[in-house]
Structure 1
Amino acid sequence: MTETATRAATILPGTTATGAQTTLGVMGGGQLGRMFVQAAQAMGYFTAVLDPDPASPAGLVSHFHIQADYLDEQALAQLMQRCSAITTEFENVPAAALHTLGAHRPVAPGARAVAIAQNRIQEKQFFNRCGVATAPWAAIESEADLAAVSDALLPGVLKTARLGYDGKGQVRVASRAALGEAWRQLGAVPCVLERMLPLVDECSVIVARGWNGQTVHYPLQRNLHRDGILAVTEAFEGNLPYPGVNRALDAAKTIADELGYVGVLCVEFFVLADGSLVANEMAPRPHNSGHHTVDSCDLSQFEAQVRTLAGLPLVAPRQHSAAVMLNLLGDLWFDGEGRARTPAWAEVLALPGAHLHLYGKLQPRPGRKMGHLTFTAASAVEVRATAARAAALLGMAPW
């Protein structure tokens, strides 16, 4: 059963006939919300953010910041009163809040899609129902499930079903004894055990799907993770020289269609040694690996989010430059002795094709995403060389 909703009319930017300013809302105030807000404002919309953090990156730049819990009834009512349509910037916004909002306003993505993405068990079941391959897996929700795990799933990775991201809530296990110990260390909460596979690469594909079912997509992106956190994304022709990787696009479109999805959707894949693909997870929102689209494409993933939410025309994005994106973690704000420092922005910005994006977070911490740095150039060779030079200047590991 899909969740596609009908729309009465396109939500145009600017001032309405009654003199009110059209406002779009976003649940969540992190960097993804900030970039959505900036894209919406550039197009002439007012914006409202609901987020409990008084210093949320999106709240700091939005016209309205409703500082409250995501399930606060008065806050949800205020967001509905202000906004013509509402989106979300991260998948851990309670699906129940989106369901409440969706009863009164267009909400994209809908509560069902977000609820599936919030639970790895439901997500993998959904992928498999769509005919999208995943690593062999089993749900572990009880001692009986633990005892019934097949030896064929070991060695594997145990992941909490909920709230795991950026490598959190994951433990590698090589034996049944290690599996049991890891499950209990994770609190004996519902988990997914995935068999470890011979991986050679990682990639992601981002699609945008409108209320009418029209879908556009961005080129496949090659990703490198370190300690479970995205470190580098490469986006240029020939970045994934494996047979069959183009099937990722078909898989992502199938997932979006089966969900009746509206909005921007990212699906992450592992590339196996034989060149085949297995889906890892989906993100019902713009994605870290798509940040380069702000600088390398004529339609960024955030403008696509605005267009899908508001029912504006979707056009196929065109990538005009080869791109490499570097994630900027809080580690860069400290030297090898743990002393605070300022990263070498002047030297980095002297490099050709450098685009610095800092998120306005007030406190750097190791592992915290503080910003990203995108390089664009006419060729893959040029952009990779320049990005490598920037990484060296910042003290980042080469790749």
Structure 2
Amino acid sequence: MTVFPLPPGSTIGILGGGQLGRMLALAAGRLGFDVAVLDPQANGPASRVSAFEVVGAYDDPAALAELARLADVVTFEFENVPAAAVEHLTALGVPVAPGARALAVAQDRVEEKTFLNGAGAPTVAFAAADDAEAAREAVTALGAPALMKTRREGYDGKGQKWVEHASEAADAFKAVGGRPVILEAPADFVRELSVIAARGRDGEIAVYPMAENHHEKGVLRRSFAPAEVGKDTAAQAERIAAQILSSLDYVGVIGIELFELKGGRLLVNEIAPRVHNTGHWTMDGCEVDQFEQHIRAVAGWPLGPTHAHSRVEMLNLLGKEADAWAKLAGEPETRVHLYGKRDAKPGRKMGHVNRLRPL
């Protein structure tokens, strides 16, 4: 039976071996933990900086049993891990954080918005549709234009399509794969913001300053932090984060994407039960970054400070942009973070840089 807080020398398991897993593993190593990564692909970015590698599908009983043998606690780097995998690990006696409830909520966009509204976190109006006719009716009820998204999976702008007229709903439904969808009313927002927050095993909550985010073609391009926001807006974000974390009995770091409307009111766009791209600025702008904070939380350690000591512009390096590493490394105000990926496909996140300036 796992007893918290975990002492240094314990092993933290991570489901997923990409860049977020890699940065989690590096943070765990700084705190004296070993890491075991389960990933379908051998020799991935996270595995190469971890003590143990388990190669297998996320729902492979043998692979999960091996991870359970190695790890004292398990977390995950992305929210599309099968819920059955978490249930299987729990049945084997290994605690998983964040818990199955957070994973289930984040995996289904209708469940997510229903949960958020119930937790007192406002969102845009929405409707579910399981077929083309229901999608047309949903657009009619919500009003056009409406954003159609698959209920499950999809990220970085994938699996979604704007519907400009109700008559186009059937074609849009087919274009996103003919699967159950959510229709969302548009948000007349001024800008996109996010907040990274954490909750420890003892219920302690820590919230980072907000970031202002800019997307291109559905992919995060830049984040500026701390964002210039008023006290009321910051207080709203902290309240929303606390309500979400407490309602989920959450353990770990969460990313909460927000729309700021005219007048400063905030709506929640999405939540991600994991460390988040919009929190990468904390790696060089805060004493304890989001990755260390997540490890602290799942290991049962006290949470660290979240205040910023620098202003940061975080820029994602996509595809061949990472080839400019030598130039970027020569910029005194720039901190380079590369993910160790082998294939620089167009639009693929290969790394990021944090450009610093004084507060």
1:113 has 2:99 as partner: no
Q: Report the equivalent of 1:26.
A: 14
Deviations 1:197-232 (A, max 9, x none): 222100111111111111111111111111111110
Once the two structures are TM-superposed, the CA of residue 243 in structure 1 deviates from its matched residue by 5.6
Q: Report the equivalent of 1:349.
A: 329
Once the two structures are TM-superposed, the CA of residue 178 in structure 1 deviates from its matched residue by 1.5
Once the two structures are TM-superposed, the CA of residue 267 in structure 1 deviates from its matched residue by 0.7
AA partner of residue 11 (structure 1): L
Contact residue 252 and residue 298 of structure 2 kept, 8 A: yes
Contact residue 192 and residue 260 of structure 2 kept, 8 A: yes
Partner secondary structure for residue 80 of structure 1: helix
Query: Superposition RMSD on alpha carbons, in Å?
Result: 1.7
Q: Report the equivalent of 1:392.
A: none
Q: Report the equivalent of 1:291.
A: 280
Structure 1: which 5+ residue stretches go unaligned? 1-5, 15-21, 334-341, 380-399
Q: Report the equivalent of 2:46.
A: 58
Q: Report the equivalent of 2:154.
A: 164
Runs (4+) of structure 1 exceeding 6 A deviation are none
CA distance in 2, matches of 1:346, 1:12: 39
CA distance in 2, matches of 1:316, 1:258: 23
1:43 has 2:31 as partner: yes
Residues 7/44 of structure 1: CA separation in 2 closer, same or farther (3 Å cut): closer
Partner secondary structure for residue 49 of structure 1: strand
Q: Report the equivalent of 2:233.
A: 244
Partner secondary structure for residue 201 of structure 1: strand
Deviations 1:243-283 (A, max 9, x none): 63531221111011000011111110011233211110000
Question: Of 37, 61, 73, which residue of structure 2 is paired with 1:85?
Answer: 73
AA partner of residue 94 (structure 1): P
Contact residue 136 and residue 153 of structure 1 kept, 8 A: no
Q: Report the equivalent of 2:317.
A: 328
Partner secondary structure for residue 244 of structure 1: helix
CA distance in 2, matches of 1:64, 1:7: 19
Partner secondary structure for residue 233 of structure 2: coil
CA distance in 1, matches of 2:178, 2:263: 35
AA partner of residue 169 (structure 1): G
Residues 330/27 of structure 1: CA separation in 2 closer, same or farther (3 Å cut): same
Contact residue 26 and residue 87 of structure 1 kept, 8 A: yes
Q: Report the equivalent of 1:73.
A: 61
Deviations 1:38-88 (A, max 9, x none): 011111111100001113210121111101000110110100101111100
1:11 has 2:11 as partner: no
Contact residue 127 and residue 184 of structure 2 kept, 8 A: yes
- With the length of structure 2 as denominator, give the TM-score of the two structures: 0.95
Question: Of 170, 185, 197, which residue of structure 2 is paired with 1:180?
Answer: 170
Matches within 5 A, 1:352-367: 352-367=332-347
Once the two structures are TM-superposed, the CA of residue 188 in structure 1 deviates from its matched residue by 1.9
Question: Of 317, 338, 354, which residue of structure 2 is paired with 1:374?
Answer: 354
Residues 50/377 of structure 1: CA separation in 2 closer, same or farther (3 Å cut): same
CA distance in 2, matches of 1:227, 1:331: 17
Q: Report the equivalent of 1:217.
A: 207
AA partner of residue 122 (structure 2): A
Partner secondary structure for residue 46 of structure 2: helix
Partner secondary structure for residue 283 of structure 2: helix
CA distance in 2, matches of 1:108, 1:243: 31
Contact residue 96 and residue 111 of structure 1 kept, 8 A: no
The structure having more radius of gyration, on CA atoms, is 1
Partner secondary structure for residue 183 of structure 1: helix
Contact residue 133 and residue 170 of structure 2 kept, 8 A: no
CA distance in 1, matches of 2:285, 2:219: 22
CA distance in 2, matches of 1:222, 1:127: 21
CA distance in 1, matches of 2:143, 2:320: 35
Once the two structures are TM-superposed, the CA of residue 147 in structure 1 deviates from its matched residue by 4.3
Once the two structures are TM-superposed, the CA of residue 295 in structure 1 deviates from its matched residue by 1.0
AA partner of residue 109 (structure 2): R
Matches within 5 A, 1:126-275: 126-149=115-138, 150-236=140-226, 239-240=228-229, 244-275=233-264
Give the % identical residues: 43
Contact residue 205 and residue 217 of structure 1 kept, 8 A: yes
Structure 2: which 5+ residue stretches go unaligned? none
Residue-pair matches, total: 357
Residues 270/44 of structure 1: CA separation in 2 closer, same or farther (3 Å cut): same
- With the length of structure 1 as denominator, give the TM-score of the two structures: 0.86
AA partner of residue 316 (structure 2): N
AA partner of residue 373 (structure 1): V
Once the two structures are TM-superposed, the CA of residue 241 in structure 1 deviates from its matched residue by 5.3
Contact residue 2 and residue 73 of structure 2 kept, 8 A: no
